[in-house]
Structure 1
Amino acid sequence: MKNKYLNFISDEHFLNCIANLHSAYIKAKNNISKKSFYSNKVDTIKLTFDSKFNDIDEEKLIEAEILRQIDKSINNSIGTFHEQILGGIDGFEVGKLSGIDIKAKDETLFAVFGNSEIPKNISDAIFDKLANTALIFSKAKFYYVLLDDFSEINEKWIIGNEEYRVSQKRVFKISIKEFYNEITLQTDAFQQLQSNLTIVIDDYLETIKSKSY
């Protein structure tokens, strides 16, 4: 039977990924209450100044800060969501090697997820890990996937500076958008995900609602 949502993973798998992310949101909200907000060494003096000088209700400032903390805690879960989605594509799985997030089952592709704005020492360490692993898996491609980049970047990863530059011919840096397209062998895989998110979330929430009756 034809899939309702995406043509590269099953509807059941997609709904399970949504359910897992929803659970992460619930956990994050439960972990950050007003009580825990004040116990996290919040600068109440600054809070008062922000409220008075910016003419913003203190209660609204607190709510905004709680949302910011929830958003910060959920970022890792978004990365996990992409891992689970991509791990459901035929021929791929969530990485079992330490530090590898997604891999091809035939060991021709390995990927690590991260962001574009990370400290240089961490970036260099990730590159070194991929480059060293490339020496073991001589026929594989290796990707550093930028979760916060939705451009069309897909290029050989080069680290260093103008005087000293290092690369490995099978280690690439790629946007999350292009990575979806790369491993599905489609040109619109990420667009499919974006276009169907609202539909699948609504279907999932409707299922939750019906179970509560």
Structure 2
Amino acid sequence: MKNKYVDFISDEHFLDCVANLHKAYLKAKNNITKKNFYTNKVDTIKLTFDAKFNDIDEESLIQAEILRQIDKSINNSIGTFHEQILGGIKGFEIGNLSGYDIKAKDNTLFADIKNKHNTMNSSSAEALFQKLSKYADENKKSKCYWVQILAKSSFCELWKGEINGKEYSHSRVYKISGDQFYALLSGKDNALFQLYKNLPIAVKDCLNSVEKSELAKENSALDEIKVKIETSKRTILDQITFENYSYYLGFDKL
């Protein structure tokens, strides 16, 4: 029977991956209490500029800041989603904290997956090259890949060049864009495109199968702040500033 979503992994595996990501979103949303929102200190000076220069009311501004924090916490989960999808292709498996993200079961391929092309500094890039080179040296028939899911172009090429002032190259260490890596593992040139086109359908099916009790409660941070300003009579920004910096000179007067 023809698959409903993509033709390189089973529908069941696809839905499992979507469901896992949905759980990560729920966890991220439920984690934004006022206490967690304040964990790294809120930059209310920047938020003042944002409100005035962008003509945004304070409530919308704080809601956007909360969503930004949720987005930040979910980024790693997007990378995990791709790992899980690719690990469902016949002949491959995910690393499960083994040092690589994806490998061929016959050890002919090892890969480290980054969701975006610009997520590493030079030290991280150097460490990654050394790690992939080690896998290549230990597995003489293997090819090793630095995968950039969201790359600036479509490519598959030897990874060589200067990193931290040192020349690096290896005959079996490559860098590759997300579309090419999906194609390499699946044998389907349009594999990533298939995923993109069918993702909305799979997400809808996933959400339809979820019990309402499992859906996220709205993050409570803003509601908790609004409860406080009912008695303090401060603005939202003043309340956040007071609760973050009342120990600063003069700020206890807010």
Count of residues paired in the alignment? 211
- The 5 Å alignment of 1:115-130 reads 115-117=116-118, 118-130=120-132
Change in 2 beyond 3 A, CA 1:76/1:210:
closer
Q: Runs of 4 or more off by more than 3 Å in structure 1?
A: 209-212
Per the normalisation by structure 2, the TM-score is 0.77
Amino acid at match of 2:127: A
Q: Secondary structure at the match of 2:150?
A: coil
Q: Secondary structure at the match of 1:103?
A: strand
Q: What's the CA shift for 1:49?
A: 3.6
Computing the radius of gyration from Cα coordinates, the structure with the larger value is: 2
Q: What runs of 5+ residues in structure 1 fail to find an aligned partner?
A: none
Q: What's the CA shift for 1:97?
A: 6.6
Q: What's the CA shift for 1:209?
A: 5.3
Q: What's the CA shift for 1:39?
A: 4.3
Q: What's the CA shift for 1:48?
A: 2.7
Q: Secondary structure at the match of 1:160?
A: strand
**Does the CA contact (< 8 Å) of 2:117 and 2:152 recur in 1?**
no
Alignment match, 1:70: 70
Amino acid at match of 1:202: K
Of 189, 199, 202, 2:201 maps to 199
**Cα distance between partner residues in 1 of 2:152 and 2:166:** 29
- The 5 Å alignment of 1:2-17 reads 2-17=2-17
**Cα distance between partner residues in 2 of 1:164 and 1:119:** 15
Alignment match, 1:61: 61
Q: Which has the higher contact order (CA 8 A, sep 6+)?
A: 2
Change in 2 beyond 3 A, CA 1:44/1:134:
same
- The 5 Å alignment of 1:137-152 reads 137-149=139-151, 151-152=153-154
Change in 2 beyond 3 A, CA 1:28/1:133:
same
Amino acid at match of 2:153: S
Task: Please tell me the root mean square deviation across aligned C-alpha atoms, in Å.
Answer: 2.0
**Cα distance between partner residues in 1 of 2:166 and 2:127:** 16
**Does the CA contact (< 8 Å) of 2:110 and 2:135 recur in 1?**
no
**Cα distance between partner residues in 2 of 1:59 and 1:98:** 44
Q: What's the CA shift for 1:2?
A: 1.9
**Cα distance between partner residues in 2 of 1:65 and 1:92:** 39
Amino acid at match of 2:174: F
Instruction: Show CA shifts across 1:57-91 (max 9, x none).
Output: 11111111111111111111011101111111110
**Cα distance between partner residues in 2 of 1:22 and 1:129:** 31
Amino acid at match of 1:3: N
Per the normalisation by structure 1, the TM-score is 0.91
1:81 aligns with 2:78: no
**Cα distance between partner residues in 1 of 2:11 and 2:171:** 37
Change in 2 beyond 3 A, CA 1:51/1:94:
same
1:134 aligns with 2:136: yes
Q: What runs of 5+ residues in structure 2 fail to find an aligned partner?
A: 215-254
Alignment match, 1:105: 105
